[in-house]
Structure 1
Amino acid sequence: MSEKKFTSNFEVTNGANIVPLKRIEIFSPEEWELFTKEYLEVLQDDYVEIERIGGANDNGRDVIAYIEPSTVKGYKWDCFQCKHYDHSLHPSDVYVEIGKILYYTFKKDYPIPQNYFFVAPKGCGTSLSKLLTDKILLKQKVKDNWIQSCEKKITKHLDVKLEGSFLDYFENFDFRIFKKTNIKDILDKHKKHPNHIIRFGGGLPSRPKLDEASIDQIKANELVYVEQLFLSYGDESKIKYENINDLKSNLSYQNHFNRTRINFHYAEQLRNFYRDSLPINTFQDFQDEIYHGIIDTVEDTHENAFKKIKASEQLASTLQLSSNPLTTVSIVNDRKGICHQLVNDKKIIWKDDTK
């Protein structure tokens, strides 16, 4: 049996989305570097740190992926050179980039990278792809084109001539480090980054319905708001409630308690299910909107704490929220549940038990 899911507002209000493979073609060069950095941030098992340099003073390095900390002498690293062109890369597009790596590693400005990847929206063309599989041919082509493509373009301060000790370095350099990347593979891995939906749209993934039958024993992360519920019921009835069995004497409280636990777990599910699909603090921002929407009501004078709960839950259910992406996938249960998350986090209270 297929899993039941909520239908998001996005799915029924938006038309066809531009596929990521096409959208990256209209990125700015800066966006392309940031996108590449995000892709590398997903590869947490491969690298200890990711750094974007870019700009005119990058010395041939757009995005650095450290295999070892940069504090280690002769640290290991991979270089990702971002080339955002309207065509697949030609050999003439990259000769100067190869020249920069040769020159600046010769000067010992930084260690030779373990791998040097060209990252471009349309990938590497046939000619460049062929060169990158043949280190001898690649070396010869760079050498043949050095004067035209590299000598005056590596640095503004001097001509970098391929002669003397630098020529010896060139001849002994391992050109196998230069490689192409698979853009489809990069896009697929980027899906795991919190910024993927922000960059490419497509809406949030459908959210599974909560299995309410699985909500059994009160968990440790529910104790604060549960205690506040008991105090609030007691504030109205003038009867002391200490555990769930005590509520059996009042069907109204028992039903509210059961609904509240369901709502709390819905709110927890909302927090956890979209955690990896959205930028950090997105849920926190949503929770804050609920807080600011109900706090005046919470601080108002009420006949008793239970009536305060009911008024706050009702208001949270009807708040007009539109700025947060979670509004398209949230339901009334979430909003009511967030009220009790706020109690759990001790940002609001229903009943001050010290009075």
Structure 2
Amino acid sequence: MVEEASNKQVILKDYVKGFPKESDLILKTSIVKLKIPNQCSNDAVLVKNLYLSCDPYMRGRMAKTEGSYIDSFTPGSVSKFYYYNQTITGYGVAKIVDSSNPDLKKGDLIWGLTGWEEYSLIKLTQGLFKIQNADLPLSYYTGILGMPGHTAYIGFYEICSPKKGEYVFVSAASGAVGQLVGQFAKLFGCYVVGSAGSKDKVDLLKNKFGFDDAFNYKEEPNLDAALKRYFPNGIDIYFENVGGKMFDAVLLNMRVNGRIAVCGMISQYNLENPEEGTRNLLCLITKRIRMEGFLVFDHYGLYPKFLEMVVPLVKQGKITYVEDVAQGLENAPNALVGLFSGRNVGKQVVVVASE
């Protein structure tokens, strides 16, 4: 007889407009068989989810959109197993319970896209990574050793092509990606300033992550003047996480031949009506700025190169990572919604189960 288990699942109640609320996400429970269905041949693994990652891009999936790089969630949809658009989905760390693929065995640890539930059936075509360095905290594979860390690496090293001594600005700098970009830049020999939304986060940037300086953007009535104060010689590299007025002010302060890696624009995600367009795009021409948006999954081929660099840095204590941990799947909706008011300090992660 096939063993069964209770399976808590987080479901999107309906498409969201404006800022998401905890009530937009509902918790349901089903019963799951702990064995892969016969029809799954060799293309699936059944996993027990251990950690889930809360990431800003998930806000776009909570709205009804077309033509995006990733599908919207399907409201009210729940299934015994996850393939796509049935539970809320995102990056996570999991342990394999059953596998129909010879390269992934029961007991192996993986990270990649999974369901927001206790157990998920995942197609291997979705891109899963077998965890090799299990001696490091497994939750790090939702952050520094997973998608956010790889994003910081690609944006800074591959997109921005840094040079030693350059001036680097990082917005949303205390978040999962920003905290790493700043530390990568410092290790490379750059001057780094970050912006964040509270005094505690500013202190974290300067005292924990080693930024040369940082400021609270909420206390700056004139962002252009603030950037001129922190970058009297201008900005060579901007790692864009915010958009809106911050982006407009940065353009005025970029140096000739500057580079901008566009990772996210969290200030725009919850707007029901788009803000007035960016006014300072002419700077892209006059200052010969190269600006490039990117998606990390286009660069998965460089993940081994990224690990080769970052794992020794973590083990040697040369890079620091801060997590904001929520315990239990029942607290996952609150944790996700908190991203959009800046409630989290560091990488927001949800603990679903112990290994």
TM-score between both structures, scaled by the size of structure 2: 0.25
Bigger fraction of residues in strand? 2
Bigger fraction of residues in helix? 1
TM-score between both structures, scaled by the size of structure 1: 0.25
Q: Which has the larger radius of gyration?
A: 1
